[in-house]
Amino acid sequence: MRQTLTLFESFPGRTQPTDGYWVRGGSCDQCASGGIPGECCTKLVFPVNPTAARNPDLVHFWELHGIEIKWWGDLPLAIVPLRCQALAPNGDCTLYDTPERPEICSTGPLNPWAGKPLNPACSYEFAWSSILK
């Protein structure tokens, strides 16, 4: 199923482009082709200030706390290795179909960088669709 995502920034942290939007396709297979079931549930990811992410001393400080900085284009992302308490070893969500499951978990990755760039076995695909075509 292809889905047009209109509720999040096309390029978080950047000047908004006006020539298109991201389209997400596919569905979650719990990372069946990879080695970490439910990989996106094993970490938290936050965009961070680019000036801070270019400061080697600050990056070193974050690394000492287990936080890695990865760049997606010109957007720096802080990767925090923190497994969700509700994630079962086989990748199942133990809160699935319960009111306790956060709504954001039902919507899947909302940003392109939350798919394959950070979770290589993610079964979602993101494609840029130009409105100028």
Q: Mind giving me the DSSP string for 102-117?
A: -HHHHH---SGGGTTT
Give the binding site for ligand SF4 (CB under 6 A).
28-31, 38-41, 84, 86-87, 93, 95, 101-102, 105, 108-109, 119, 122-124
Report, in Å, the least distance between residue 81 CB and ligand SF4. Answer: 14
Report, in Å, the least distance between residue 65 CB and ligand SF4. Answer: 21
- 1 CB-near residues (< 8 Å, 6+ apart): 25, 26, 27
Nearer Cβ to ligand SF4, position 32 or 52? 32
Closest CA to 47 of 18, 24, 16, 80: 80
Nearer Cβ to ligand SF4, position 59 or 122? 122
Nearer Cβ to ligand SF4, position 71 or 96? 96
Nearer Cβ to ligand SF4, position 59 or 87? 87
- 71 CB-near residues (< 8 Å, 6+ apart): 53, 77
Length of the chain: 133
Report, in Å, the least distance between residue 127 CB and ligand SF4. Answer: 16
Report, in Å, the least distance between residue 49 CB and ligand SF4. Answer: 25
